[in-house]
Structure 1
Amino acid sequence: MTQPPPHPTSPRGRPEKNRHDRDNGDTVTPVPSNLAADDPIFVNFRGYPFNHAYRWVHISRFGLVTDAADTVVISAVIDAESYRDGYIGAGADPKGTIHGPFRIECIGTADYSRVPAEAAAARFDRWAAAYGAVPAELAAVLDEQVHRRFAAADTIHVLRDLGDDAVCEHGRIHTEFNEFLTIDRRRGEVALIVAADD
């Protein structure tokens, strides 16, 4: 399969944003919703009686403050401090250069693909039940925190696997890394949902 060409980089080494992203003059700054930015939702499968395989879901939430294009919203999320998180236990690093298993300099808006809610839910459910049926108590939590957001979102975008050339120094610690970005314009919420295992 032919890989897409690498993103052009700015003098600072960050991916250039697509020029058309801001042609309409809109700007968007994802700001914390009424829930604090340092208080993300974290669902640890370890707390439930089944073969959890050290899996977890981490959800960062942002308030959508303008009716900007999806690409502008995605760009602003990439620029957010909370995006600089390797998800290896240390939390976000304001000066960090990694996001999950990847170097941020390799990530751009074009690496997020829009998918229908049904496809996002199917991918998430396959991951969640990879080692056995999800207990009812955990399923209820995932319905509330993940599936509710899929159903309510105007659009959902999935981060593609960027390949080994984009992997950061700690390598592929995560056995599987799934990322969904939901944009719910009615509720004014952008959610970055990471479902992974280690």
Structure 2
Amino acid sequence: MTELDFVDLTFVNFRDHSFPEGSAHGFRWVDLRSFCFPRGNQDRGLLAAVVAHDQFRDDCAGGGVDPAGTRHGPYWLRAVGPDGYQPVSRTETEQVLRQWAGQHGALPDSLEDALDTALFAVVNSASRLYRLRDLSSAVHDWSGVHIDFHEFIAIDDERQLLTLLVAADD
């Protein structure tokens, strides 16, 4: 099996930025987890390796990484595998993420800058992108905590870096 080495976690919390009074940006965030991989791996092996990694065992609702966890985002962990990811274009990825980020109105410049630096830089440098498809038949018992949940995997061959991108709310 492909070995991934966890490198870094970047977390962009919308609450860390000043929004106009009465805006509905609430409890939204972006979580990026980066992993190094050795050259010569096929994408399916990389997808399987990230799903098997301890850093993937996160309920994405404030519980953090739990090596014995059974949830990932709104889904039962057992339902998420490499076949759950489908190739997606850079254009579609950026469109989905920008629409999600701006769905409640304009973003403060500081948040736009943070998203450009942390999120969209990874999307733009990716050799390939994958999106977790809708697994609505595998939602867990308290999955309703997420209104929106978007998950992508960016594979950057030049830097030998795989980044798990989650944009969600709780």
Smaller-chain TM-score bracket:
over 0.9
1:137 to 110, 114, 121: 110
- Tell me which protein shows more strand as a share of its residues: 2
2:13 to 36, 44, 56: 44
- Structure 2, unmatched stretches of 5+, are none
Runs in 1 of length 4+ with deviation above 2 angstroms? Answer: none
Report deviation, 1:66.
3.1
Output the aligned Cα RMSD: 1.1
* Number of matched pairs: 166
SS in 2 for 1:169: coil
- Structure 1, unmatched stretches of 5+, are 1-26
Letter in 2 for 1:90: G
1:126 to 99, 112, 127: 99
- Tell me which protein shows more helix as a share of its residues: 2
**Which protein is bigger by CA-based radius of gyration?**
1
SS in 2 for 1:105: helix
Q: Do the aligned partners of 1:41 and 1:60 also contact (CA within 8 Å) in 2?
A: yes
Report deviation, 1:137.
1.1
Report deviation, 1:53.
2.0
1:173 maps to: 145
Distance in 2 between residues matched to 1:176 and 1:134, nearest whole Å:
17
Taking structure 2 as the reference length, what is the TM-score of the superposition? 0.93
SS in 2 for 1:140: helix
Letter in 2 for 1:75: A
Taking structure 1 as the reference length, what is the TM-score of the superposition? 0.81
What fraction of aligned residue pairs are identical, expressed as a percent? 34
Q: Do the aligned partners of 1:56 and 1:195 also contact (CA within 8 Å) in 2?
A: yes
**Larger RCO (CA within 8 A; separation ≥ 6):** 2
Q: Do the aligned partners of 1:64 and 1:185 also contact (CA within 8 Å) in 2?
A: no
Distance in 2 between residues matched to 1:187 and 1:172, nearest whole Å:
36
